Structure 1
Amino acid sequence: MKLQGKVAMISGGSKGLGADLARRFVEEGANVSLCARHPEGAADLATELRAGGGQCLVIGCDVTDEAEVASWVAATVAEFGRVDVLVNNASVLGARAPIAEYPADVWRTVIDVNLTGAFLVAKACIEPLSDAGGSMIHISSGVGDHGRPNWGAYCASKNGLEALSEMLAGELADAGVRSNAVDPGAMRTVMRAEAYPDEDPAGVPTPYQISDVFVYLASDEAAGVTGQRLRARDFEWPQTEGAS
């Protein structure tokens, strides 16, 4: 087990990538703290994780609300005594439209959740992660390293998130906290179906199937890895010295 005894916080943890990362992390020995705007949607997942031997805390939290974020972090530390890993996963898609037609209210909502929310969660986790020498993992996108037409605020938010991840890597290096961004690529989620309604989901991997890179970044094996952008579909577990 690569995450034995670690405590991982996952925002947007009730479904999709967040839920599958919770499953994988528990399989690897971690305890998880999940936040969701509608925590009742995570009740079955929490039952599943506990039945599998993991400890799971589910907290209702709007990541755009600084007080609610602080309460989630405090509840996690009170429950588990530490935080080793943060997965900044909470995200919304918004409109697929050219800028000339993009609704300003939708723009604000997407930036608020995807970028400001990630900032608030990361900021609140700095102290406990510094105590543990922990890892921040920020969920980016294939549109996170360039400007793709008609992706609007989602594209802008993910570009901003990658810059935030690099800033955190530099600012927190002396505290022993790592910060990396991951482009998960195509995966079978509700958000993917909204973005590509004509796509056959059978040809797209599940989030669980691309979860190795997240386990790696959460583990002690990635102790020297920070300020990077990794692509989940290209990831291969590094060979350890002496491995065949």
Structure 2
Amino acid sequence: MHPFASNLSGNHALVTGGSKGIGRLIVQALLAEGVNVSYCARSPRGDEFSAFNGATDGARAVASAVDIANPSDIKNWVEKSAREFGKIDCVVANASPLFHDVTPEHWEKSFRADIMGLVTLLDATEPHLKERAEAGGSPSVVVITSIAGYELILPMIGSPYTSFTRTKAVIAKDYARKFAPMGIRINTLPLGMVNTPNITHPDGSVEWSSFQTFKKDNSEWMKEAEAKIPLKRVAEADEVANVVVFLASRLSSYICGATIPVDGSISAALL
């Protein structure tokens, strides 16, 4: 029986969309567990975690500029990251460009980024994850998505975001059939509303998060929305990150192919 500790120190994780928002808190949570992190974004600053003092056991974060709609970008990033740290133990597919307009252009862009980007990432990391499983590890993939793909709560009818957030969970379940016999676990986290904090950069400048900006401009709507959540509040980003750490660790060694809502029970309330 494993002690109730992550025991992730020395592992290496990939996190897409790790420079801000939920991805940023996921990177910090992994660093705090002693995990080296390769994170990507379309235009990372590179110093996102230079002032973060919570890393343990010498864990470090390395940034790369990656367009998740570009297969070559993803493949090159995966191989470069594997060379940097010698292995890949965990993959967190977090990035989503949020193409939600009801237009053919957004459907095509969302398909290339959200769907083919995820498939490319899974295929590119598979041999590295398989190698870790054969070496006795417990490699894990976590796919971040939204309950918008389940409850159809977005106001835009016909939005690619609604359809493709659900599709990513279907892809993860299908890959579970392929990955599980190799010893690789893959699970999906559909999220409800998540409070992402503003970012204070090393130079002192403050970058407002999309959530904080929306909340400031739509305070009454936010109060009504929070009242509908059974827990009566939105999630904090580190609460999502904690679930990712759990799924990355051996504490979740028999969880594979699961869809685990992190939504304060709003999806149950909407049934």
TM-score range, shorter chain: 0.7 to 0.9
Name the structure with the higher helix share.
Answer: 1
Are 2:167 and 1:176 equivalent residues in the alignment?
no
Q: Distance in 1 between matches of 2:249 and 2:210?
A: 27
The residue identity in structure 2 corresponding to 1:60 is: A
The answer as to whether partners of 2:234 and 2:264 remain within 8 angstroms in 1 is: no
Q: Distance in 2 between matches of 1:204 and 1:47?
A: 28
Are 2:12 and 1:14 equivalent residues in the alignment?
no
Note the alpha carbon deviations across 1:117-149, whole angstroms, 9 max, x for none: 111111111110111121110001112235446
1:24-173 matches, cutoff 5 A: 24-40=29-45, 43-49=46-52, 52=55, 53-95=58-100, 102-133=102-133, 134-148=139-153, 150=156, 152-173=159-180
**Structural RMSD (CA):** 2.4
The answer as to whether partners of 2:13 and 2:37 remain within 8 angstroms in 1 is: yes
SS of the equivalent of 1:136 reads: strand
> Which of 1 and 2 has greater Rg?
2
**Which structure 2 segments of 5+ residues have no match?**
134-138, 197-208, 227-232, 266-271
SS of the equivalent of 1:95 reads: coil
The answer as to whether partners of 1:93 and 1:154 remain within 8 angstroms in 2 is: yes
SS of the equivalent of 1:211 reads: helix
Note the alpha carbon deviations across 1:83-108, whole angstroms, 9 max, x for none: 01000011022236xxxxx2111221
Q: Distance in 1 between matches of 2:44 and 2:127?
A: 25
Q: Distance in 1 between matches of 2:62 and 2:53?
A: 10
Q: CA deviation at 1:175?
A: 0.8
SS of the equivalent of 2:69 reads: coil
The TM-score normalised by the length of structure 1 is 0.84
The TM-score normalised by the length of structure 2 is 0.76
The answer as to whether partners of 1:92 and 1:154 remain within 8 angstroms in 2 is: no
Alignment CA distance shift 1:130-1:48 (3 Å) = farther
Q: Distance in 1 between matches of 2:87 and 2:71?
A: 20
SS of the equivalent of 1:57 reads: strand
Equivalenced residues, count: 228
Alignment CA distance shift 1:93-1:192 (3 Å) = farther
Q: CA deviation at 1:51?
A: 7.4
SS of the equivalent of 1:231 reads: coil
**Which structure 1 segments of 5+ residues have no match?**
97-101, 236-244
User: In percent, how many aligned pairs have the same letter?
Assistant: 25
Note the alpha carbon deviations across 1:56-111, whole angstroms, 9 max, x for none: 11111111111111111111111100001000011022236xxxxx2111221122
Q: Distance in 2 between matches of 1:210 and 1:39?
A: 22
